[in-house]
């Protein structure tokens, strides 16, 4: 599982950063990719990455400001041109369906794959046997959400060596034992599979935030996360400006990560007033509160 940052700027594209788009690749987990936000020129950024649109399964939109959605119609169209045939689901605030359908209709775009659009309001956005996605409303002057992605816990590894000592050979019987079942061997020996399963591996938790200033739901979304992705549009010295424009500072993002008991923080959505040389100072501000902080740049890849 990896996070690939396709755009890490705020408001408008700059020479150093494109606007917001983050890919969560889960090729080993479910052979698919999820995209969080789709700012202008996201499909151009994808051309410079390892991402294949045919693998795109879900798009989660945090809010309807242009720097988070202006790339969406073009990307949906290109996925069709490039042979995408599997269902694609887009989640987002009320209004996202009208935006997409109007854009496609006015441009005469016909998709060759089924497109599902879900306007979110409930706390649980998506859930299956492997993943659960929860959303929480933020504070940005426009409906803006943060998403909490929870991976299901994994059953512990089977103790193959211990079973071999009992004379149990690999084969279909291993599947039953892995499920914790009682299995009777040919010689009549009864083996309790649950005794040969290692500790459960806890699923990962990822919190990805839309634009916001400090909000009550932030802690719920971020609590005990393995990684938080949070905007830090402004440096610490611009706290009043950040609050006025309903954005966050480096210190605000780091304080959330600390209070949430998170393991890791990645800050993004950086104002164009800061250049690459400023990255070190912005990270240092975060690290003064939450040491395990990194700053995202376009095309940066973070393994989870």
| Binding site per annotation, positions for Zn(2+) | 63, 65, 67-68, 140, 211, 269
Distance CA 157, CA 177 (A): 11
pLDDT band at residue 157 under the 50/70/90 scheme: confident
- pLDDT, one tens digit per residue, over 20-78 is 999 999 999 999 999 999 999 999 999 999 999 999 999 999 999 999 999 999 999 99
Domains and CATH numbers, the chain: 2-154+201-303 (3.60.15.10), 160-196 (no CATH)
**pTM for the full model?**
0.91
Q: Which residues are catalytic?
A: 67
Q: Are 189 and 166 in contact (CB under 8 A)?
A: yes
Q: Are 149 and 222 in contact (CB under 8 A)?
A: no
> What's the confidence (pLDDT) of residue 121?
87
Phi, psi of 216 (to 5 degrees): -55, -40
- pLDDT, one tens digit per residue, over 77-124 is 999 998 889 999 999 999 999 999 999 999 999 999 999 999 998 799
Residue 250 tokens, joined? 């480096």
- Give the C-alpha distances (Å, rounded to integers) separating 103 from 37, 58, 92, 294: 17, 19, 16, 36
Distance CA 161, CA 183 (A): 17
Distance CA 47, CA 265 (A): 27
Q: What is the mean pLDDT of the chain?
A: 95
**What DSSP line would sit under 7-51, residue for residue?**
E-BSSS--SS----EEEEEETTTTSEEEEE---TTHHHHHHTSS-
| Binding site per annotation, positions | 63, 65, 67-68, 140, 211, 269
- pLDDT, one tens digit per residue, over 176-207 is 888 889 988 888 888 998 888 988 889 999 99
> What's the confidence (pLDDT) of residue 172?
85
- Of 273, 275, 270, the closest CA to residue 232 belongs to 270
């Amino acid at each position: 599982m990896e996070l690939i940052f396709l755009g890490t700027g705020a408001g408008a594209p700059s020479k150093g950063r494109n606007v917001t788009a983050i890919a969560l690749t889960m090729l080993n987990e479910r052979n698919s990719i999820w995209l969080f936000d789709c700012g202008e020129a996201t499909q151009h950024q994808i051309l410079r990455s390892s991402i294949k649109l045919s693998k795109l399964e879900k798009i989660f939109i945090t809010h309807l400001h242009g720097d988070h959605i202006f790339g969406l119609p073009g990307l949906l169209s290109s996925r069709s041109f490039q042979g995408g045939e599997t269902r694609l689901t887009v989640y987002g605030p009320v209004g996202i369906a009208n935006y997409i359908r109007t854009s496609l209709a006015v441009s005469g775009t016909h998709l060759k794959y089924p497109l599902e659009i879900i306007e979110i309001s409930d706390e649980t956005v998506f859930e299956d046997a492997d993943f659960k996605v929860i959303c929480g409303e933020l504070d940005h002057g426009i409906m803006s959400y943060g998403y909490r992605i929870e991976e299901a816990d994994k059953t512990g590894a089977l103790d193959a060596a211990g079973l071999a000592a009992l004379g149990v050979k690999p084969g279909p019987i291993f599947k039953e034992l892995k499920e914790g079942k009682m299995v009777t061997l040919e010689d009549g020996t009864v083996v309790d599979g649950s005794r040969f399963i290692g500790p459960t591996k806890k699923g990962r938790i990822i919190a990805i935030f839309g634009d916001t200033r400090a909000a009550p739901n932030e802690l719920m979304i971020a609590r005990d996360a393995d990684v938080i992705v949070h905007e830090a549009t402004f440096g610490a010295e611009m706290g009043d400006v950040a609050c006025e424009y309903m954005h966050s500072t480096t210190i605000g993002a780091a304080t959330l990560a600390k209070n949430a008991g998170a393991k890791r923080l990645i800050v993004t959505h950086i104002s164009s007033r800061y250049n690459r040389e400023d990255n070190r100072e912005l990270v240092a501000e975060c690290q003064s509160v939450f040491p395990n902080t990194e700053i995202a740049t376009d095309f940066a890849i973070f393994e989870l």
